Structure 1
Amino acid sequence: MMTSIESTAFGRLEAEGRLLKPAHKGTTHHAGRFGFRGEIAITLEPLLTLEAVFAAAQDGDAALSFVAGSLSSFKQLPALAESLGASVKPDGKYYIYVGDLDRASRYQISFGGVSLYVLPIDDTSVYNELIELFYLDKLKMKKYDTAEKIDTIVDAGLKYDTSYEVISYEDGLKRL
């Protein structure tokens, strides 16, 4: 049976008009997985987006299992957490690249019991950052279709188990 967007955590985001510029919005090669590559609107007025998003959810799960994307500013994290709300869960994996973080900064910051990996982004893409972070084979990745790229990144991201310095959002603001 085909997984529909309505049966995943993407259903609410779609209904609210938050899934923008999709390069992929549909099932992947993994049974029951729905994937998205594009932008997620954090606020609609004014428009603020999580850019270069890779995200996935399982059929019947009310929360996204994986999200990766970039924000231009650390100060946008609370708005992101608020907009995702119940669409994220404590055991999900969320990688947020932030443009104004110092290059050596790597943090875990919790919002409402949900931990985000907050990482700096160089003048590269989220895609390239994820390939490097998860030690994926860039040459193999080039041969994959978008759904297979999403699956490979999500599978690696869900297995990724490292700890970064755990700080509060307020502590992060002081370090900018």
Structure 2
Amino acid sequence: MTSIETTAFQRLDAEGRLLKPSHKGATHHAGRFGFRGEIAVSLDPLLALEGVHATAQEGEAALSFLAGSLASFRELPALVAALGASAKPEGKYFIYVSDLDRASRYEISIDGVPLNVLPIDDTSVYNELIELLYLDKTKMKKYDTAEKIDTLADGAAKYDQRFEAISFEEGLKRL
């Protein structure tokens, strides 16, 4: 069974960044560890990536999949800094941001970490991902939390749609 000590979550956990977990453990995929909850971007004052669904493979230093929401586009660099080595160029990262225009969908690289940045209104990250990744919501209702995380991570791994690539600075100008 995969333990947190052998994954990219180990450092985040040791720093007290993994908050409010509804799942923090192995998933149904061999060697995969999943997390659902919040990740602290800063601890004082507390700023968190909310509605998080994330996975990491055993023995790998970085998360393979991450999705969550931030209140402001301006918080993206702080998120990448908090993730540090737990993020990698090959990862699939979907960050929903409350202050983006509904039609905005961007691909932004910060310190070599590619982020798919999308708007979010009053819905949940979970529901947004189901729609974005074309997953069957009815089937997913029958899954336990670990299987839901696996399904989201697998869907993200297959996702190949590209959004407009812009710099973080250009994104600030478009707010």
Query: TM-score per shorter chain, which class?
Result: over 0.9
Q: Which residue of 2 aligns with 1:128?
A: 127
SS class of match (1:144) = coil
CA RMSD of aligned residues (A): 0.4
Query: For 1:57-100, what per-residue CA distance to the aligned partner results, in whole angstroms no more than 9, with x for missing partners?
Result: 00000000000000010010010010001101000000000000
Q: Which residue of 1 aligns with 2:19?
A: 20
Q: Which residue of 1 aligns with 2:63?
A: 64
Query: Offset at 1:113?
Result: 1.2
1:16-165 equivalent positions in 2, closer than 5 A: 16-165=15-164
Aligned amino acid, residue 131 of structure 1: I
SS class of match (1:127) = helix
Unaligned regions of 5+ residues in structure 2, if any?
none
SS class of match (1:161) = coil
Q: Structure 1: which 4+ aligned runs deviate by more than 2 Å?
A: none
Q: Which residue of 2 aligns with 1:8?
A: 7
Query: Offset at 1:149?
Result: 0.2
Unaligned regions of 5+ residues in structure 1, if any?
none
Aligned amino acid, residue 136 of structure 1: L
TM-score, normalized by length of structure 2? 0.99
Aligned amino acid, residue 19 of structure 2: L
- Cα distance in 2 between the residues matched to 1:136 and 1:93: 16
- Cα distance in 2 between the residues matched to 1:174 and 1:21: 34
SS class of match (1:147) = helix
- Cα distance in 1 between the residues matched to 2:123 and 2:50: 13
SS class of match (1:69) = strand
1:167 aligned onto 2:170: no
- Cα distance in 1 between the residues matched to 2:11 and 2:157: 22
Query: Offset at 1:162?
Result: 1.1
Give aligned pairs, total.
175
- Cα distance in 1 between the residues matched to 2:15 and 2:84: 13
- Cα distance in 1 between the residues matched to 2:113 and 2:83: 11
